[in-house]
Structure 1
Amino acid sequence: MSNVYFKVIIDEIPRLLGLLDKNPISPTFGSFDRNYWHYNISDFSCARFQEATLTLALLYLLNYDNNPYYNSEDILKFINGGVNFWCKIQRKNGSFDEWYPYEGSFVATAFSTCAILEVLLLLKEKIANFDNSLRCIKKAVDFLSKNVDYTACNQEAGAILAIYNCYLLTSESKYRDLAYKRLNDLSKLQKEEGWFPEYGGPDIGYLSLTIDYLAKVYEKSNWDLAKEMLTKAIDFLYYFSHPDGSFGGEYGSRNTKYIIPSGIEFIAPWNRKAGYIAFNLRRALFEKKTIGPYNLDDRYLAYIGYTYLQASLYFREDLEVEERGHVDKYFEESGIWVFSNSSFYLVSNFKKGGVLKVNFKNGSSFKDSGIILKTKNKIYTSSWLNSSEEKIIKDGGFKVSREMKLISFYKMSIIKGISLRVFQLLLGRFEFINKLVKKFLRGILITKQKSSGIRFFRTIKVVKE
């Protein structure tokens, strides 16, 4: 199979360039946030769109057949525009915004800084305003140095790589030492099963993102600790590459179905389980049976497009693959059961009420996201994640008993929008208030569940062949 990673991303580059303000006399030249610079329906620019600058930098450097962007002067101008615009939208405390003004987003700061640092490391002598860019980088890294967010561990992995990249760019040992300390702290959060918590449980797509950042840390630092963490994470991820080419989904803490490819490909030459994942991913991308650049929305194309180009650099034809065979494995800490035989492959998460996904040998699949109970004006679900209330019994199968939760559908309104903007304008500049706002919003939009008083149980058993 040819290098599928380059094929699937190169076809989407015209769409990516369509997001970019390419007018050099425009005050927003270099912005990839089209809603901000073109449609004027956003009053701030999302910093994460600037991660697309790294995609352009790699295209500029990769001397591949069928790469019309190699060594292009226009692309180099756009790269400089992207870096300069990133600097322009930085807040005074070094942070950046993703979802609303004065957000001071940890993840937007970590991920966008990581990408811009890679650009500077790759094209140092070709960055027109390098000294100013370096000042902005150090401000961002100083912000990351003072803050940490373990709610979603992939964000911390990105921060660690950003801090280490800053060491590579500046040769200041304090950044190297801090990166190792943060890596050690993150290692203590990794579960024995190999996963990192993402809002309380494992998630397949975000685990692949954490693996991607840790792989880059290991590649650059050669730290044994990073390799140990990667090996454990791959041992877990190995079970969630489905026979039909799909990954993850309903049973993960955040339901993600994509796989970030570059870390997997980097590990594959020395880890046969990573080789198995890479082999399945290549096939699935070639057949378009999994999520890839061709069906990513514009936002995610800007966020992760470069990882396909990086994966193309690690691509090797001669993969050593560890075949899985039949599986009957229960991950007790995560509550996930994986079972396969000659007829089907089943994954179920009992800490999400027994949601499940099954792939059958004939190519069909079955997905069950649990029970939905609808009354006159309320909707309840069984598929929420909260391990503290689980009662799981294993007896020739699995039985789970739990309470259903009330689903809340929060939507933005004119009043809510104006209130948030006014509040942020007046008080959002203060970091401690900003943190309270983020905790409040995260609670009502992501993690909060309301009791229903309604209990259910679900039993899953496999009839022996």
Structure 2
Amino acid sequence: MTGSHPLRKRLERLGTRSLPKLLTLQDRNPHSPTYGCFDRNFWHLRITDFPSGMAQEFVLPLALAYSNRLEGNDFFGDPMIREWVRAGISYAARSAHPDGSCDDYYPFEKAAGAAAFSLYACIEAIPAAGLDPAPFLPFLTQRAEWLARHQESGRLSNHEALIANALYRLSALVGEPRFAELGRRRLDRLLTWQSEEGWFFEYQGCDPGYLSLTIANLAELAELRPELPLKAPLLRAIGFLHSLQPPDGWLGGEWTSRNTNNFFPHGFELLGKTIPEALDINTRAVGAMDPAPEYDDDHIIGHHCWSYIKTALSWRDTRPEPSVSPDRDVVFPEAGLSLLRKGPMTLLTAEKKGGAFRLYRGDRLIHADTGVSLQLRRGDRTRTYVCHLWSDDNEIERCPASVTVSGAMGRAKSSQMTPLKNLVLRSLMLTLGRFNPDLIRAILQRLLITGKPRSGLRFARHLALDDSGLTVRDRIEGGGEIVDCGIGPAQTSIYTVMSRIYHPVQRQPWCDLSAEIMPGSALRLDHTRRIGEAE
């Protein structure tokens, strides 16, 4: 039985609203060769030539719905839901590579993230659906062994935490201590990725949304294995988020390193037994999910679905009162994030993202800004240059109630797949990539995520906060023929699977600055705005 706390009910509704769509995504025909597959683009629409292994993660929210009474859940105790969970796990096993790995975006990719999410989901779904684990053990152990020895390129702490959690949970499921030892090795590696400020690295920086998933996995591990040395790392991580949490409670947005509106709440409820600040974070963040971010696309629909349900099941109706934001400023230099306060105004600045900011009055967000974006014509090509690409090279000057960020603008990445590019990628994966998928992954990470082509354009942004609002001065200098120039609330320029989803802040109008570019051989912009007094 669940409680009646309104935020618990909200989580139940959010967790169950997409369950019917998960079944639409699944092949539910027992005579089909792809029975159990959740990648509808593969088995039904036939617009891809391989199934995404990540999609088999969808067995977990269905298994949780089968085994729990939840608001809006018509699937409790339904034997067909249990059968479709079984079919989903079976297809995960049938579609795996011989070494237990699976693909996500392209064939022979052998994606650690997809393997980790789906393994965790299968391990959790088996007891939730009341299934006999024996038929699945060869597959589960093979995938776990592949994950244990595989180290993907880049520092993705949420993946590392998920791998460690899955290995420990498999050890408990099958009673084999060796998987716990393998999990401990991955956990030890992960703990070296924690900043002294409390956050864990995601590629090159701090993303509070993905940090919530890392915290969730560590919280589950701490509950499963209390002897693990997780108390201090979790206290630092919770302390970081509690200090950084904006006045409206929402920890996502384009000010984060990976531009996500992620928030995985279930770990905070587990930690609330001993860390009251974790419950405070959850109360405020879940309270801000009205409306919640819209993740209802075919690829990422499952992640938050099961997290919301797990949170509802462990929700504590007795909670501390939400804390009032302190008057003091908060600065995290390594994360490149600061909170400045003046009277009722609060300014959250992403200093390593060109001074992207969010401005609050009281507990209400009144303005979001991701910096100047330019479109320049150079020869016969038009390219976009932005200030918000993550950079450790930005020059940052902090004064009481103000911050100045300056640096080089970067070129935004906007390449799309073409038939030729697709043919080249497939050829690579069928030859070199088949035997060295990590090399292809590292190249794509460089092209799409971590690589930042610089330009001769320079920017400087000065933000000055006072009791009634914010003064913003933007300056751009360089060369090129201007096509368009403006500022928006949610521009992003790197690929992240969980970014660019709909969130209400995106309805803020575009600020067109094209007419303010000063004429002459050198491009120059000097623009000052006053924000906050009329909102």
TM-score bucket (shorter structure): over 0.9
* Preserved contact between residue 241 and residue 248 of structure 1 (Cα < 8 Å): no
Q: Residues of 2 paired with 1:411 and 1:90: CA distance?
A: 28
Aligned to 2:297: 297
- Which SS does the other structure have where 2:74 is aligned? coil
Conservation of the 8 A alpha-carbon contact between 1:101 and 1:421 = yes
Shift of 1:65: 6.1
Q: Matched residues in 2 for 1:72 and 1:309: separation?
A: 17
- Aligned equivalents of 1:279 and 1:196: distance in 2? 22
How far apart in 2 are the matches of 1:361 and 1:463? 13
1:429 aligns with 2:430: no
SS where residue 273 of structure 2 aligns?
helix
- Which deviates more, 375-384 or 144-153? 144-153
Alignment of 1:372-451 (within 5 A): 372-376=373-377, 377-387=382-392, 389-396=393-400, 397-430=402-435, 433-451=436-454
CA contact (8 A) 2:15 2:304 kept: no
**Which secondary structure does the structure 2 equivalent of 1:53 belong to?**
helix
Cα offset, 1:64, TM superposition: 4.3
Partners of 2:168 and 2:363 in 1: CA distance: 47
Aligned-partner Cα distance in 2 for 1:439–1:362: 41
C-alpha separation in 1, matches of 2:142 and 2:26:
25
| Contact 1:204-1:240 at 8 Å conserved across structures | no
> Partner of 1:259: helix, strand, or coil?
coil
- Does residue 1:131 correspond to 2:134, yes or no? yes
- The structural deviation recorded for 1:151 is 2.1
Match of residue 140, structure 1, among 139, 143, 146: 143
Q: Is it true that 1:178 corresponds to 2:182 in the alignment?
A: yes
Superimposed CA distance per residue, residues 398-425 of structure 1 (whole angstroms, 9 cap, x where no aligned partner): 2222111122311100011122112212
Three-state SS of the structure 2 residue aligned to 1:145 is helix
Match of 1:101 among 107, 130, 139: 107
1:167 aligns with 2:171: yes
C-alpha RMSD of matched pairs (Å)? 1.9
Tell me if structure 2 keeps the 8 A contact 1:183–1:226: no
Give the whole-Å Cα distance in 2 for the aligned partners of 1:348 and 1:441: 29
Establish whether residue 248 from structure 1 lines up as the match of residue 252 from structure 2: yes
Which runs of 5 or more residues in structure 1 are unaligned? Answer: none
Structure 2 residue corresponding to 1:461, chosen from 461, 464, 467 = 464
Could you list the structure 1 runs, at least 4 aligned residues long, displaced by more than 4 angstroms after superposition: none
Higher strand content, 1 or 2: 2
Q: CA deviation at 1:342?
A: 4.0
Q: Is the 8 A contact 2:61 2:306 kept in 1?
A: yes
Q: Which residue of 1 aligns with 2:355?
A: 354
| Match in the other structure for 1:56 | 62
**Helix, strand or coil at the partner of 1:324:** coil
Query: Is contact 2:208–2:256 with CA below 8 Å preserved after alignment?
Result: yes
- Which amino acid counterpart does residue 451 of structure 2 have in structure 1? K
Larger displacement relative to structure 2 (235-244 or 150-159): 235-244
In the alignment, the residues of structure 2 paired with residue 295 and residue 133 of structure 1 have an alpha-carbon distance, to the nearest angstrom, of 30
Amino acid corresponding to residue 144 of structure 1 in structure 2: L
Alignment of 1:15-414 (within 5 A): 15-64=21-70, 67-123=73-129, 126-127=131-132, 130-149=133-152, 150-285=154-289, 287-288=290-291, 290-291=292-293, 295-321=295-321, 322-361=323-362, 363-376=364-377, 377-387=382-392, 389-396=393-400, 397-414=402-419
Q: State how far apart, in whole Å, the 2-side matches of 1:356 and 1:6 are.
A: 32
SS of equivalent to 2:460: strand
CA deviation digits over 1:315-358, x for unaligned, max 9? 11111244333240110111211123442222101111111111
Give the distance between the partners of 2:274 and 2:219, measured in 1 at CA. 12
Separation of aligned partners in 2, 1:66 and 1:115: 22
Amino acid at match of 1:110: A
Q: Are 1:11 and 2:12 an aligned pair?
A: no
Deviation of the 1:271 alpha carbon: 1.9
TM-score of the pair, normalised by structure 1: 0.93
Structure 2 CA distance for partners of 1:64 and 1:411, relative to 1, 3 Å: closer
Change (3 A) 1:112 1:363: same
Offset at residue 241 of structure 1 (A) = 3.6
Q: Which has the larger radius of gyration?
A: 2
CA contact (8 A) 2:209 2:263 kept: yes
1:9-35 deviation per Cα after TM superposition (whole angstroms, max 9, x unaligned): 222222222211111111111111111
User: Could you say what secondary structure the match of 1:459 adopts?
Assistant: strand
CA distance in 2: counterparts of 1:64 and 1:383, whole angstroms: 41
TM, length-normalised to structure 2: 0.81
Distance in structure 1 (CA, Å) of the matches to 2:83 and 2:284: 37
| Residue identity in the other structure for 2:220 | K
Structure number with the higher helix fraction is: 1
Percent identity between the two aligned chains: 30
CA–CA distance in 2 between the matches of 1:282 and 1:454? 41
Structure 1 counterpart of 2:119, which letter? T
Give the secondary-structure state (helix, strand or coil) at the position aligned to 2:163: helix
What is the deviation of 1:269? 3.5
**Partner amino acid, structure 2, of 1:80:** R
AA aligned to 1:20 is Q
Q: Deviations over 1:159-211 (max 9, x none)?
A: 10111112112222121122223212211210011111112110121111111
Contact 2:17 2:72 in 1 (8 A): no
Measured against aligned partners, the alpha-carbon deviations of 1:134-154 in whole angstroms (never above 9, x if no partner) come to 111111111111122352111
The more displaced of 357-366 and 227-236 is 357-366
Task: Provide the aligned length of Structure 1 versus Structure 2.
Answer: 455
Secondary structure (helix, strand or coil) at the match of 1:186 reads helix
